[in-house]
């Protein structure tokens, strides 16, 4: 009879194997995080700059319609259609998703506008302060406690945004709308009993009739870009569904493998990369007002991150 010790490699133990598996899973999670946040920070803004010959309204409508197609296929492949049907029969879930749909649609539209209007710097600032707006909503809506450090971070961030309003009031609205729309969207999705992929598919389904109606309207006027600007642009427009869906899938995979604190730090990669793309690729101006604002926001994020780390260490 063979020795039972041969059932596992020599010199290994279940604890060692589990540690190796956890380490491999964490590495995979980091790769997924880099793919998701890197795409949102580099490829997505460049993509919307490439298709800026198409109006903001049409590219938004096209993004919604093609996202439905891509997300439906992905949901089918990953066996998520049953979750979609379950959510569609849940009035509470549909109520929250109806609300989140309006905010993510607003966020997408303003983001596309910001890229096409050479305001990617303001867009990056909006996503920098989103975690701070999330904290504010947590206090106001979910009655979460606000520490002195977090309060200081929120105050510093608010001062930074105020500086931007005083110096460049005509563009600061992009920052504020992107931050608040995405933060409120995140709050509603947190309260909705639906997973990420089925939820996003339902959200795009909810708004897709309006998007389709607008595209039909443009077609009737003869001003629809899709089908009239060459097959290369048609392919790029259709790719908006992939631009939307793939980073979300990668984000979900990284969230399964990494701690929320780690994911939280990775989320700052997107606005940082977007900021670098705005200044060094799109050649957007970066004056003293924006420098002061960014320094205040970065300082606020440092305070906020310090408090998160302290909380994490206290729980260990």
Instruction: Identify whether 101 is part of a domain.
Output: yes
pLDDT computed for residue 2 by the predictor = 46
Per-residue pLDDT of 182-241, as tens digits, reads: 888 888 888 888 888 898 899 999 999 999 999 999 999 999 999 888 899 999 999 999
Euclidean distance between CA atoms 202 and 137, whole angstroms: 24
- What does R_g of the chain's alpha carbons equal in angstroms? 22
Instruction: Identify whether 17 is part of a domain.
Output: no
Instruction: Identify whether 55 is part of a domain.
Output: yes
* Structure token pair of residue 181: 């729309």
Neighbours of 165 (CB within 10 A): 17
pLDDT computed for residue 298 by the predictor = 81
Instruction: Identify whether 22 is part of a domain.
Output: no
Contact at 8 Å (CB) between 227 and 58?
no
Counting beta carbons within 10 angstroms of the beta carbon of residue 284, is it exposed (0 to 12), middle (13 to 18) or buried (19 or more)? middle
Is the per-residue pLDDT at 4 higher than 50? Answer: no
pLDDT computed for residue 168 by the predictor = 66
Per-residue pLDDT of 245-284, as tens digits, reads: 888 888 878 877 776 656 766 777 888 899 899 999 999 8
Mean pLDDT for 286-307 is 79
pLDDT computed for residue 258 by the predictor = 75
pLDDT computed for residue 1 by the predictor = 47
Of 248, 198, 180, give the one whose Cα is nearest residue 96: 198
Instruction: Identify whether 4 is part of a domain.
Output: no
Instruction: Identify whether 270 is part of a domain.
Output: yes
Determine what percent of the chain is predicted with pLDDT higher than 70: 84
* Structure token pair of residue 64: 């919604």
pLDDT computed for residue 6 by the predictor = 47
Instruction: Identify whether 12 is part of a domain.
Output: no
304 φ/ψ angles, rounded to the nearest 5 degrees: -65, -45
Number of domains making up the chain: 1
Helix (H), strand (E), coil (C) string for the chain: CCCHHHHCCCCCCHHHHHHHHHHHHHHHHHHHHHHHHHHHHHHHHHHHHHCCCCCHHHHHHHHHHHHHHHHHHHHHHCCCHHHHHHHHCCHHHHHHHHHHHHHHHHHHHHHHHHHHCCCHHHHHHHHHHHHHHHHHHHHHCCCCCCCHHHHHHHHHHHHHHHHHHHHCHHHHHHHHHHHHHHHHHHHHHHHCCCCHHHHHHHHHHHHHHHHHHHHHHHHHHCCCCCCCCCHHHHHHHHCHHHHHHHHHHHHHHHHHHCCHHHHHHHCCHHHHHHHHHHHHHCCCCCCHHHHHHHHHHHHHHHHHHHHHHHHHHHHC
**Domain membership of residue 110 as a residue range:** 28-315
Instruction: Identify whether 144 is part of a domain.
Output: yes
pLDDT band at 302 (very low <50, low <70, confident <90, very high): confident
Mean pLDDT for 21-46 is 84
pTM (two decimals): 0.81
Euclidean distance between CA atoms 28 and 16, whole angstroms: 18
31 φ/ψ angles, rounded to the nearest 5 degrees: -65, -40
Euclidean distance between CA atoms 65 and 102, whole angstroms: 15
Determine what percent of the chain is predicted with pLDDT higher than 90: 42
Neighbours of 283 (CB within 10 A): 9
Is the per-residue pLDDT at 16 higher than 60? Answer: no
Rounded to the nearest integer, the mean pLDDT of the chain is 83
Per-residue pLDDT of 126-182, as tens digits, reads: 888 777 777 777 777 767 676 777 777 778 877 877 777 777 665 678 888 998 998
Euclidean distance between CA atoms 246 and 70, whole angstroms: 9
């Amino acid at each position: 009879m063979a020795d039972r010790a041969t059932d596992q490699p020599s010199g290994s133990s279940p604890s060692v194997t589990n540690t190796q598996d956890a380490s491999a899973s964490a590495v995979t999670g980091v790769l997924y995080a880099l793919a998701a946040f890197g795409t949102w920070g580099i490829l997505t803004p460049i993509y919307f700059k490439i298709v800026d010959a198409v109006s903001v309204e049409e590219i938004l409508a096209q993004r919604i319609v093609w996202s439905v197609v891509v997300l439906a296929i992905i949901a089918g492949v990953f066996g998520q259609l049953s979750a979609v049907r379950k959510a569609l029969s849940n009035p509470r879930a549909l109520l929250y998703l109806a609300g989140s749909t309006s905010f993510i649609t607003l966020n997408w539209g303003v983001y596309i506008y910001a890229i096409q209007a050479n305001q990617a710097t303001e867009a990056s600032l909006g996503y920098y302060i989103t975690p701070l707006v999330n904290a504010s909503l947590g206090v106001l809506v979910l009655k979460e406690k606000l520490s002195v450090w977090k309060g200081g971070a929120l105050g510093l961030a608010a001062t930074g945004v105020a500086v931007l309003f005083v110096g460049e009031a005509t563009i600061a609205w992009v920052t504020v709308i992107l931050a608040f729309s995405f933060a409120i969207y995140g709050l509603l999705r947190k309260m909705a009993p639906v997973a990420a992929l089925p939820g996003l598919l339902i959200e795009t389904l909810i708004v897709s009739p309006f998007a389709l109606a607008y595209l039909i309207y443009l077609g009737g006027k003869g001003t629809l870009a899709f089908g009239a600007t060459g097959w290369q642009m048609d392919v790029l427009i259709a790719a908006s569904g992939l631009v939307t869906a793939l980073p979300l899938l990668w984000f979900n995979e990284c969230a399964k493998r990494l701690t929320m604190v780690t994911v939280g730090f990775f989320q700052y990669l997107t606005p940082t990369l977007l900021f670098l793309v705005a200044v060094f690729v799109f050649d957007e101006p970066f004056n003293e007002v924006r420098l002061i604002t960014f320094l205040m926001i970065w300082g606020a994020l440092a305070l906020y991150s310090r408090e998160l780390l302290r909380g994490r260490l206290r729980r260990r």
